[in-house]
Amino acid sequence: SIDISTLTKQTGYTALDQGFVNTASTRSAITFIDGDKGILRYRGYAIEDVAKNSTFLEVAWLLIYGELPSASELAEFDERIRRHTLLHEDLRRFFDALPHNAHPMSVLSSAVSALSTYYEDSLDVHDPEQVEISTIRLLAKLPVIAAYAHKKSLGQAFLYPDNSLSFVDNFLKLNFGTMAEPFEVNPVLTKALDRLLILHEDHEQNASTSTVRLVGSTEANIFASVSAGINALYGPLHGGANEAVLRMLSEIQDSGEGVKKFVERVKNKEDGIRLMGFGHRVYKSFDPRAKLVKESADEVLESLGVQDPLLDIAKELEQVALADDYFIERKLYPNVDFYTGVIYKAMGFPTRMFTVLFAIGRLPGWIANWREMNEDPRTKIGRPQQLFTGSPARDWPSR
Ligand code: ACO
């Protein structure tokens, strides 16, 4: 690899790399990807092992602190997060100011941005203790904010967090519990959601993580940086793809046009449509997360007793696309988002909550990257160059 900044100084040339296809913006020790071989590792551990053996909070610790926690470290981490789940009452009322049909991703980024107004005591990026307490606050409060965004869209009362429950069960209760009836934990849902969250926890320098780093490189606080990351995740070419996949599957079902015809329209680039949930900038043989999610889709739907024709459409789409030269030549395979929507739907989440679930999953990766950037003395403010294509200097017209 070449250090472009040194080369630029030596030669005076500027490298143009639209979309950062071949430019590393940072060194990182957190996540490793080999896109040709379909390998993903968190801190050296294969994603398949992590997903099988761990829990969301344990992986969050691994990503943020670099090693697996001891049993007591994990218990203390879990306990600290439980103690910080409550939102300030004024922040609960903040939701009243937003329209009930607001997209939950906009609600999420706004409320996370607002966190920095409540916690001015922990915004100093140079104080490790303040960074630590902000980390805990974010991990504890993001799921609560997300669930309130969901409840608001339903017009239902917000529940207070139940800190006797695990991280995932608390989140499920805040989303699906009501004031009227006691909440029953469903271990199938708990396990499935925990696994999906693990699979989303980090993915090196994707668009949202790069955004978190770029904003953080200005020494903006972690709430501001994560809020920016949430906005970057919102787009349909990134995290918003899980929502777009479900809409695509429903449209195929409703139109009755059939999978093959739809794929033909994609290949002809009719109206610029893409096969959502397919293709990846880095993975060129398969996305290992997609394989694991597909296994979960069958398991979860079966254990919940849900039969969803959209899952059959998704499987047929995958089969047709993987046998087609258009997709083979361009190395387009299902990505992590292809099957997640079907599972989230079976769990009872509305489509507009799908990307919010991705954001909760990705939070530890954003925090780990922000902290790695913040602790690295080589970090410089992110400031890309441009190649100017406008008018040369000209005289102001006399009028
Ligand atoms: N459907 C149809 N054609 C596609 C697709 C797709 N999903 N993805 C890429 N292509 C085609 C492009 O049209 C292009 O074809 P061309 O050479 O004939 O012009 C070629 O494949 C290369 O595509 P690029 O857009 O250059 O690939 P890039 O690496 O920039 O984009 C991306 C990657 C954004 C993920 C793209 O594959 C895509 O739009 N996929 C659908 C959205 C999606 O699922 N996003 C989630 C990604 S995973 C994540 O963020 C969690």
Q: How far apart are CA 343 and CA 349, in angstroms?
A: 9
| 104 Cβ closer than 6 Å to some ligand 1 atom | no
CB count within 10 Å of CB 186 equals 16
CA 351 to ligand 1 centroid distance, Å: 22
66: which DSSP letter? Answer: S
d(CA 309, CA 342): 10
Q: In testing the pocket of ligand 1, which one of 273, 332, 333, 362 has its CB within 8 Å of the most ligand atoms? A: 332
CA-based nearest residue to 280, from 205, 356, 331, 239: 331
How far is Cα 392 from Cα 4, in angstroms, rounded to an integer? 27
pLDDT tens for the chain, residues 1 to 399: 778 778 888 888 888 999 999 999 999 999 999 999 999 999 999 999 999 999 999 999 999 999 999 999 999 999 999 999 999 999 999 999 999 899 999 999 999 999 999 999 999 999 999 999 999 999 999 999 999 999 999 999 999 999 999 999 999 999 999 988 999 999 989 999 999 999 999 999 999 999 999 999 999 999 999 999 999 999 999 999 999 999 999 999 999 999 999 999 999 999 899 999 999 999 999 999 999 999 888 888 998 899 999 999 999 999 999 999 999 999 999 999 999 999 999 999 999 999 999 999 999 999 999 999 999 999 999 999 999 999 999 999 999
Residue type (1 letter), 326: Y
Q: Ligand 1 centre and the CA of 277: distance in Å?
A: 9
CA-closest residue to ligand 1 atom 50: 238
Residue of 204, 233, 234, 237 to mutate, ligand 1, most atoms within 8 A of C-beta:
237
Could you tell me which of 196, 151, 144, 136 has the C-alpha nearest to residue 165?
Answer: 144
Q: Which of 142, 170, 110 is nearest to 364 (CA)?
A: 142
Buried b (16+ CB within 10 A) or exposed e, 73-104: ebeebbebbbebbebeeebbebbeeeeeebbb
What is the enclosing helix (H) or strand (E) of 74?
helix 71-83
266 touches ligand 1 (CB under 6 Å) = yes
What the block records as the tokens of 359 is 């954001």
Could you tell me the distance, in angstroms and rounded to a whole number, from the CA of residue 280 to the centre of ligand 1? 6
What global pTM score does this model have? 0.95
What is the number of alpha carbons within 13 Å of residue 134 lying toward its C-beta? Answer: 31
Of all protein residues, whose CA lies closest to atom 46 belonging to ligand 1? 238
281 lines ligand 1 (CB under 6 A): yes
Torsion of CA 221, 223, 224, 229, to 10 degrees: 120
Tokens matching residue 11? 């030669």
Q: Which atom of ligand 1 is the closest one to the Cα of 274?
A: 1
Residue of the CA atom closest to atom 45 of ligand 1 = 237
**Which of 223, 231, 233 lies closest to 113 in space, CA to CA?**
223
- Per the CB < 8 A criterion, the answer to whether 33 and 39 are in contact is yes
Look at residue 1 in the predicted model and tell me its pLDDT. Answer: 78
Report the run of H or E that residue 110 belongs to, with start and end: helix 104-118
Provide the pairing of β-strand 39-42 with 45-46. Answer: antiparallel
Locus of tokens 């507009």: 352
How much distance in Å is there from the Cα of 332 to the middle of ligand 1?
8
Cβ atoms within 10 Å, residue 168 = 23
pLDDT at 106: 96
Torsion sign, CA atoms 388, 391, 393, 397: negative
How many Å apart are CA 104 and CA 282, to the nearest integer? 28
| 129's tokens | 């203790």
Residue located via tokens 């913006």: 25
| Ligand 1 lined by 137 (C-beta under 6 Å) | no
Place of tokens 């999610």: 293
Indicate the burial class of 158 (C-beta count within 10 angstroms; 0-12, 13-18, 19 or more).
middle
> Hey, which residues are catalytic here?
280, 337
Spacing, Cα 355 to ligand 1 middle (Å)? 18
Give dist(CA 332, CA 355) in Å, integer: 22
Task: Write the DSSP string, 245-256.
Answer: HHHHHHHHHHH-
Q: What is the DSSP letter of 291?
A: H
* Separation CA 290–CA 286 (nearest Å): 8
The candidate with the shortest Cα–Cα distance to 136, out of 224, 222, 230, is: 222
Nearest CA to ligand 1 atom 44: 277
CA of 88 to the centre of ligand 1 (A): 41
CA of 102 relative to ligand 1 center, distance in Å: 28
365 CB near ligand 1 (under 6 Å): no
Nearest CA to ligand 1 atom 4: 274
